[in-house]
Amino acid sequence: MDETLAEFIKRTILKIPMTEMMTVLKAWDFLSEKQLQTVNFRQRKESLVHDLVLLCEEKCASVHDAALLDIIYTQFHRHQKVWDVFQMSKEPGEDIDLFDMEQFKSSFVKILRRALKNVTVSFRDAEENSVWIRIAWGTQYRKPNQYKPVYVVYYSQTPYVFTSSCQLKSNIPLLGQNFETHNTTVPLQERTLELDIHMDSRIIHENRIEKERVQRVTQETFGDYPQPRLEFAQYKLETKFKSDFNGDILAERKEPLRCLIKFSSPHLLEALKALAPAGIADAPLSPLLTCIPNKGMNYFKIRDK
């Protein structure tokens, strides 16, 4: 197991709350019960993660094993995602096709890889005849980015497809064309998906109200005029560590924790304005970000009240 994969597994485990750790790992079913019993789950999280990564290394974990763990974590926290819902309709009077899940998975991967060589696709079957699909996109020259995947939930024998927000908007049509390929009621050459512009008449955006709300809040926050050009904003944070656990080492620390956060972009304010409509951030954005034009500042120091 190389360092890149070890780091991917480490970051995935670090996301899991301690209260859910054992539940998620058992659902993953990669590490055996006997292996898990050798781990001290009462130690500090960093040490726990280190021990779990070593066990994964001993068992020669693959990228797909790690991706499966990420899918399970996302299933536990699916309410934290922003989902687009698509409905693919059949022609009037058409019967529901017989569906072979394994054939669907195999075909799904082949179609994506014909269009894009560097892509990682992982599946996990779930309840109610649904399948979770995790897609890590790459490019012609770069390996898949495992930290910015898109998740797809597909309910077989139904026309519904749920997709998490995808930062690479240019790849969304590949997903649409892939699912249309498995809808055999229309000739293949007619199966196209154009996002937002020239939307396929058989596809319905069911979260349009939420998109309109995001656009409205964004306009109320930033206005409908071009933003002033700003290339960076810097925040210095000084805060005392807070913990619900008694006897925590950092909680006993008298000195505040200090960190520096810097946002930079050729046009920072326009980039911030685009975050929520792109599905990358919730609307409204934090006042710490939206107050920059009103305060006329790009240096901030944040302390405990």
Please report the pLDDT score of residue 149 as a whole number. Answer: 92
Q: Average pLDDT per run of 10 along the chain, which is 305 residues long?
A: 92 94 95 94 93 95 96 91 73 54 84 83 87 88 89 81 72 63 38 35 59 88 86 89 62 79 89 85 87 85 82
Please report the pLDDT score of residue 99 as a whole number. Answer: 60
Sheet holding 299-303, edge to edge: 257-264, 232-239, 299-303
- Class of the CATH-defined domain 83-185+197-202: alpha beta
Sheet holding 150-155, edge to edge: 83-87, 160-164, 150-155, 130-137, 119-125
pTM over 0.75? The answer is no
Cα–Cα distance measured from residue 184 to residue 187, given in angstroms and rounded to the nearest whole number: 7
Cα–Cα distance measured from residue 88 to residue 201, given in angstroms and rounded to the nearest whole number: 9
Spell out the domain ranges in the chain. 3-80, 83-185+197-202, 211-244+251-290
Please report the pLDDT score of residue 128 as a whole number. Answer: 72
The residue to which tokens 């050459």 are assigned: 189
Three-state SS string across the chain, please?
Answer: CCHHHHHHHHHHHHHCCHHHHHHHHHHHCCCCHHHHHCCCCCCCHHHHHHHHHHHHHHCCCCHHHHHHHHHHHHHHCHHHCCEEEEECCCCCCCCCCCCCHHHHHHHHHHHHHHHCCCEEEEEEECCCCEEEEEEEECCCCCCCCCCCCEEEEEECCCCEEEEECCCCHHHHHHHHHHHHHCCCCCCHHHCCCCCCCCCCCCCCCCCHHHHHHHHHHHHHHHCCCCCCCCCEEEEEEEECCCCCCCCCCHHHCCCCEEEEEEEECCCHHHHHHHHCCCCCCCCCCCHHHHCHHHHCCCEEEEECC
What Å distances lie between residue 71 and 77, 132, 154, 223, CA to CA?
10, 7, 14, 38
Sign of CA dihedral 289, 291, 294, 298: negative
Burial class of residue 272 (count of CB atoms within 10 Å of its CB; 0-12, 13-18, 19+): buried
